Amino acid sequence: MTTFTELLHCAEQRDDYWAEHAKLDFAIDLKRLMDRQQLRKTDLATRLGVSPAYITRVMRGDANLTIDSMVRLARAAGGTLHLHIASQSAKVRWFDVLAHSASSPKPEKMASQWAKAACHLRDGQRHGSLPLAA
């Protein structure tokens, strides 16, 4: 009898598994962006000049996406597409970093705070709080 783990391992050896995985990752990221932008599927469809059914297919992972279509979808939702290739053994996690603003700590102040933290660790002070920029 074949276990689920064995079936999954077998599936992970095929390119089509990873293609579907990438499409679903894209759909999830697009949905998160749409939620942040308070953008409905019909709004996105209107911006792109496509049917709402197409947007639904994209969200289900049923659309045959190209890099061009992914760029257009991302930009219409107020985002940008980023592609990244990593080692098969890497555990990749993406996160957004907010742009620098006037209220953000200055890079030189952050660098000095990181240097202080490194000194604390080097001196064996691994417990307690580290001085960080406010």
Give the model confidence (pLDDT) of 58-110 as tens digits: 999 889 999 999 999 999 999 999 998 889 888 888 777 777 666 666 667 77
Buried b (16+ CB within 10 A) or exposed e, 78-104: ebebeeeeeeeeeeeeeeeeeeeeeee
Q: Confirm if 56 and 88 have CB atoms less than 8 A apart.
A: no
Domain 4-76 classified CATH 3.90.1150.10? no
Buried b (16+ CB within 10 A) or exposed e, 49-67: ebeeebbebbbebebebee
Q: Confirm if 69 and 63 have CB atoms less than 8 A apart.
A: yes
Is residue 115 very low, low, confident or very high in pLDDT (cuts 50, 70, 90)? Answer: confident
pTM given for the model: 0.67
- Looking at per-residue confidence, does 4 or 99 come out higher? 4
> What pLDDT does 134 receive?
43
> What pLDDT does 94 receive?
77
Where do the domains of the chain lie? 4-76, 103-134
